[in-house]
Amino acid sequence: MRDLHTLPKAHLHVHLESTIRPHTLTDLAQRHHITIPSVPPEGYPGFRAFADRGTLVRSCLRHPEDFTRITSEYLADAAADGIRYAELTLSSGSHTERLGADVLPAVIAALEANQHDITARLILDHSRRRPTTRLATMIDTALRHPDTVVAIGVAGDEAHPIAPFATLLADARAAGLRMVHHAGEMTGPHSIAEALTLGAADRIGHATTTDTPTLHLLREHGAAVEVCASSNLALRSITHLDQHPLPRLIDAGIPLSINLDIPDVLGTTLTAEYTRLRDHYHWDDHTIAAIATTAIDSSFAPDDVKARVRADLTAWITETSATTGTTGCDTSHQTPRRWST
């Protein structure tokens, strides 16, 4: 079996705050006298328990240098894991309200100082539970940073609909922003339909409840799906990989990518996630390369970055011998967790 560290990968659904290294989280939590609960070995009983832990993790990030630090550390870790392009989701509006200052410049500073073989851009997300005024501010922020912020989206508790934000999202789309919404993670296909129609989504995060009409709608809108299988297991939106719609999405020709979403909860790497899915679904190298190619194709990367990653993927699939020996990727700070497969 080939070593998938060498696979050139795009990572399109990952929350920056959740990329925090365990020892960095411990350092910041101790500094601010915050206790972070352990991740339940059986996964979370519901979205609220997961979200509450996430709130505590974010509360450890209190200064601009904290955001510069976690961004720089993610870039180093991702590059070592074979990730060539990433789109990091950042809840900038939430942090700005919490800290009374815009943290985006601190993140951008880390991206600009990046010396690793990886290109990264940002997606700003807005909680469905928050007012439209915050979304309007976030859109203005995104439009001021067109070289760094490639998209916006709504996320969070899907009991709160997208409909109240539809006009603002349409205006943002008209201004040139792309749309990436979380949908179909904890609720039914109606959430995906709403994200596609009212939210004009280019991509859907999760989509674990894909039925036949939804597959047709995804094709009709040309939307890609960001698959986050281990995250879905951890949050119990699925209980077994055999229930995941991933094979059905592939069979239906829906473009998709493989992602971690919440790496601090999962304690794993994107290479490990590709490997886990390869082993479970019995994918060959050509299937893996096709998925990785679709990921970069459905990204918002600059054309030159897309061309470079595609060329590297072509070289990867044409290699005749498996990579052996050590990879040089330091994952000693990570402890993979395994929920039911």
Residues annotated as catalytic are 185
Tokens linked to 338: 């395994």
Tokens linked to 281: 């679904």
C-alpha separations of 80 from 4, 263, 295, 306 in Å: 12, 15, 19, 19
> Reading across the β-sheet that carries 149-155, which strands appear in turn?
9-15, 83-90, 119-127, 149-155, 178-183, 203-206, 224-227, 256-258
What contacts 305, CB < 8 A, 6 or more positions away? 84, 85, 119, 296
Place of tokens 């597959």: 215
Q: Which 8-state DSSP code applies to residue 261?
A: B
Q: Helix or strand or coil: residue 165? A: helix
